[in-house]
Chains A and B, each alone.
Chain A
């Protein structure tokens, strides 16, 4: 079974802190994704990566950056956390971009105070 692991289930941070959300997949998938999920807005794509050191902006990249130094690991970085970044963050991976199932991690619920 594909496993996508997000390092933290819950995080509480202060406004202005630099925050790292980590995601690891064990199936040698090329593609990895970060989404955020908010009530009434659903899931929205923040960033994705189709190869090591490659990254592309999704629909809502402002305030975020990403890092993919190794194929199995994709990090989401909040350079200076703000209260409007309080959300559920979901990482996913897939074998290729269009034709294959995306597998999701359990999510990280981030609260920025």
Chain B
């Protein structure tokens, strides 16, 4: 059964720092990996989706990498701002024995605080 782990569980850094959030998964047979942001009491906003054939995806100050063989992904946030404070979640599709996929398996998230 796929397990997704995110380290660290919480992180607090001063504004302006570059930072890296880590995600690991136990089964490398994935279609893609998705990073989400969740603000307190709110739903999830998709940030980046990396297909299994890709190594990186970038959106503004965010860069996500994927190393399928080692079961790892990182989310790099450049020049962090207080507005980046949120919980960041990574997720991979469930795979089932027929070779298809359905819902997502999530990590428990990294709670990020950017201090002004």
In contact, A48 and B44 (Cβ under 8 angstroms):
no
Q: Mark A38-67, 1 if CB is under 8 A from B, else 0.
A: 001111110010100000101000000000
Which of A56, A100, A105 is close to B43, meaning CB atoms less than 8 Å apart? Answer: A105
Contact A33 B103 (CB under 8 A): yes
Size band of the interface chain A makes with B:
20 to 34
CB within 8 Å: A-B pair count: 65
Q: Would you call B43 and A90 a contact (CB within 8 A)?
A: yes
* Cβ distance B10 to chain A, nearest Cβ, rounded Å: 13
B81 at the interface (CB under 8 A from A): no
Q: Is the CB of A102 within 8 A of B46?
A: yes
Residues of B within 8 Å of A48, CB to CB, are 102-103
Number of interface residues of B (CB under 8 A): 26
**29 CB < 8 A contacts A-B:** A4-B43, A33-B103, A33-B104, A41-B108, A42-B106, A42-B107, A42-B108, A43-B89, A45-B94, A45-B102, A48-B102, A48-B103, A50-B102, A58-B103, A97-B93, A97-B102, A98-B31, A98-B32, A98-B101, A99-B32, A99-B51, A100-B49, A101-B34, A102-B46, A102-B104, A104-B43, A104-B44, A104-B46, A106-B42
